[in-house]
Structure 1
Amino acid sequence: MGLIEDTVDSVEPLKPEWFYRASLHLDSLAKPKGSLGKLEEFAKRVVAITESERPNLDRKAVFVLAGDHGVTQENVSAYSREITYLMVYNFLRGGAAINVLARHVGVDVFVVDMGVDWVFDETPGLIVRKINRGTKNFVRQPAMSFDEAKRCIETGIELALDKIREGYNFIALGDMGIGNTTSSAAVMCVCTGLNPKDVVGYGTGVDYETWKRKVRVVETALSIHNPDPSSPVDVLSKVGGFEIGGIAGIILGAASKRVPVVVDGFVSTAGALIALGLCRAVGEYMFFAHRSAERGHGNVLSKLGFTPILDLDMRLGEGTGAVLAMSLIEAGVKIYNEMITLKEVSTLSL
């Protein structure tokens, strides 16, 4: 078997007994039962994911995967594709929103070139895993070959495994790529059966006429290519993006090693759908960071039955919502690890 199949086979469903153990411990702490709400739920799931009675999330990483999209030829974005490589340089210099928020939360940022239409000459700090210099325009031809789609996912798995071997134990996902909300919307429509009008959003802030064009572009691509929803690799190859496939692979790789993953917003959710299509069990290892202001994200999460942690009207991407959610999940784990029990309180004295 190949890397994807081996990884999928190694992802195990979470065991109920670990939730039970975590619940017993949380209920013994110096507080009314369940009084910390979702923070307690986060802690229970991390305990079950890691199968540890003292889980540790001290090494946090966010991957920002970048790739260009041929569908920008259809004028679906407010920005030119050159912004993709310029933002990569910005990430590496520490001047983007994700850098600021990652520093705030204590998360290491790893920038990955999955398919930027630019040659980065010996750029310090950049992880180059370029599949190709941007996808094809999927209105005219498939976004990528089937082999390229598999390579995207395999690359993501390898990225996750590399960082886990380095000691990282908590992973967040981010993206950068002009045109990627159009690709993401197409992936979401195939995987959920939702209508493009209920999924396609305003992306980088396009006007109403451009939004209508984006809807037509997605409708046309789905009609021409007829992606098979039962084959996530087929969906990715026909209407996806290199960074979307990479995100799917990171989720699979992290889950195979019992490492919790935080999915950011619209584009990261498209990658999550590819991962879920390959391995339904990975859903238990994912935390959905926030409900994006991007049109349709809430519809997709509702369809899947996932509840996002935050709702801050954010729609930037980059992993910005994911690192903020990381801080809350880690807070829940610290409550679990560091609070004393009611029994211990009874022995205290001034």
Structure 2
Amino acid sequence: MDQNKANGQEALEQVIAGIRPLDSAAVEAAARHLDQLTKPPGSLGRLEHVAKQLAGIHGEALPELGRKAVIVMAGDHGVCEEGISAFPAEVTPQMVMNFLHGGAAVNVLARQAGADVVCVDIGVNAELSHPDLRSRKIRRGTANMAKGPAMSRREAEAAVRVGIETVEELAAAGYRLFATGEMGIGNTTASSALLAVLGGADVASAAGRGTGIDDARLAHKQAVIRRSIEINRPDPADPMDVLTKVGGLEIAGLVGVILGAARCRCPVVIDGFISSAAALVATRLAPEAASYIIASHLSQEQGHERLLNEIGLVPMLRMDMRLGEGTGAVLAFSLVEASVRIMKEMATFADAGVSKSEEKKEGAGA
């Protein structure tokens, strides 16, 4: 085995081994505090679930979230040669520059949320230059997975490592809440293939319209995915093999973001279909990582709900969105922060002088 490959695999295994279960004592302390607040128990629903999850992640009942960032991984896909998208591949580098100039939807929503947009070129098929761009290119786009593996295993592992290192660097700078975003024309095709292999989904139910393709192109896209799986024969028992053969560089980068956030004991809010495909790979590599993930919204992409079910996640929002970029995840930042504010700012029954309801004793009459 190549020594660099062995070292890279060892590093990934070390990260996975470093992902610990949530702090159960902190979760219990948060639950007790929530039950003392001036409301019926459990009446704030998912906000209470997130509050307890954050407590377990940070190891304290009333955590400080710190700075917020949405990490947008950008990469191209060779499978675009097959005509599976309504947009040309040239849109990927053009949109990356739009992110860097602050003009995309994710920029607008991030400004509203008080979050920073961190854009990473992990595999764009163009040479890009901007002071705010993190240039971590593994290669100039994946190969056409309809003709062979999208990338080598070494490249996939290197891309995962980029995501891990990006989170580690940001965490060291005081960021404690992350969101996943992506840009890559053709990436719903790769994500659908990942769902079909790792989730055992039929391609017809896994692959949707992506950027808005018509019926004829959708049928062609599904045929391309089937051919890609048949040619590459990815092993569903080996998530890295599946990622290597039918995945994408930006998807691999997001796998690393999720693993890195879990290793750093930080919550990570995932966006839509592509981010959830990355989350599926990440949780197959490290099941404990699922405890650190918050699902932001349910995308219009038809396979998204199946992806979330495979991971065991429930989305907070249903907004009929399908843009990607991290837009849904950034919208959900306000809900995550709301759960913390409830814990810190809402009065307890004792503080407010409000009487708690008395549960009826067993056997007592009405």
TM-score category of the 2 structures, normalised to the smaller one: over 0.9
Q: Which residue of 2 aligns with 1:57?
A: 65
Q: Secondary structure at the match of 1:290?
A: coil
Residue of structure 2 aligned with 1:302, choices 276, 284, 309: 309
Matched, 1:222 2:229: yes
Match of 1:319 among 326, 350, 362: 326
Is 1:16 paired with 2:31?
A: no
Structure whose CA Rg is larger:
2
Distance 1:230 1:15 in 2: 29
Matched, 1:258 2:231: no
2:157 to 126, 145, 150: 150
CA distance in structure 1 between the partners assigned to 2:62 and 2:28 by the alignment? 14
The one-letter code matched in structure 1 to 2:65 is: L
Give yes or no for contact 2:27–2:61 (8 Å, CA) kept in 1.
Answer: no
In the alignment, the residues of structure 2 paired with residue 280 and residue 239 of structure 1 have an alpha-carbon distance, to the nearest angstrom, of 21
Aligned-partner Cα distance in 2 for 1:119–1:194: 36
Cα distance per residue 1:316-336 (max 9 Å; x no partner): 000000011111011011101
* Distance in 2 (alpha carbons) for counterparts of 1:41 and 1:146: 37
Quote the residue 1:342 is aligned against. 349
1:93 aligns with 2:101: yes
Residue 80 of structure 1 is matched in structure 2 by: 88
1:174 aligns with 2:169: no
Q: CA deviation at 1:128?
A: 0.6
> 5+ residue gaps in structure 2?
1-6, 355-366
Q: Following superposition of structure 1 onto structure 2, how do residues 19-58 of structure 1 map, counting pairs within 5 Å? A: 19-58=27-66
User: Partner letter of residue 110 of structure 1?
Assistant: V
Equivalent residue for 2:169, pick from 136, 159, 162: 162
TM-score (norm 2): 0.93
Code of the residue aligned with 1:179 in structure 2: it is: G
Residue 169 of structure 1 aligns to a residue in which SS? strand
CA shift, 1:346, in A, is: 1.8
Q: CA deviation at 1:270?
A: 1.0
2:221 partner letter: K
Cα distance in 1 for partners of 2:45, 2:303 equals 27
Task: Using the aligned pairs only, state the percent identity.
Answer: 47
- Tell me by how many angstroms 1:302 deviates: 2.5
Within the alignment, does 1:125 sit opposite 2:132 as a pair?
yes
Counterpart residue type for residue 158 of structure 1: E
Deviation at 1:307, TM superposition (A): 1.0
Which position in structure 2 is the counterpart of 1:113?
A: 121
- 1:81-104 deviation per Cα after TM superposition (whole angstroms, max 9, x unaligned): 000000001000100000000011
Pair 1:67-2:75 in alignment: yes
The 8 Å contact of residues 280 and 310 in structure 2, kept in 1 or not, is answered as no
- The CA distance in 1 between the partners of 2:21 and 2:197, in whole Å, is 25
Structure 1 range deviating more: 10-19 or 206-215: 10-19
Structure-1 residue corresponding to 2:361: none
4+ runs deviating over 6 angstroms? none
The CA RMSD measured in Å over matched residues stands at 1.1
1:87-142: CA deviation from partner (whole Å, max 9, x where unpaired)? 00100010000000001111110011010001013x11000110100000001111
- The whole-number CA distance in structure 1 between the counterparts of 2:142 and 2:303 is 23
State the alpha-carbon separation in 2 of the partners of residues 244 and 188 from structure 1.
13
In structure 1, C-alpha distance between the alignment counterparts of 2:285 and 2:41, rounded to whole Å:
37
CA distance in 2, matches of 1:38, 1:268: 21
Letter in 2 for 1:311: R
> What is the number of equivalent residue pairs in this alignment?
346
Deviations 1:136-194 (A, max 9, x none): 00011110011001101111110110000000000000000000000111011111011
Paired position in structure 1 for 2:191? 184
Correspondence for 1:277: 284
Q: Give the CA deviation at 1:275.
A: 0.6
* 135-144 or 50-59, larger mean C-alpha shift: 50-59
Letter aligned with residue 36 of structure 1: L
1:26 is matched by which residue type in structure 2? L
Partners of 2:40 and 2:316 in 1: how far apart?
Answer: 22
Distance 1:24 1:54 in 2: 12
TM-score, length basis structure 1 = 0.97
Report deviation, 1:298: 1.2
1:52 deviation in Å?
A: 1.4
The corresponding residue for 1:193 is: 200
Q: Which residue of 1 aligns with 2:3?
A: none
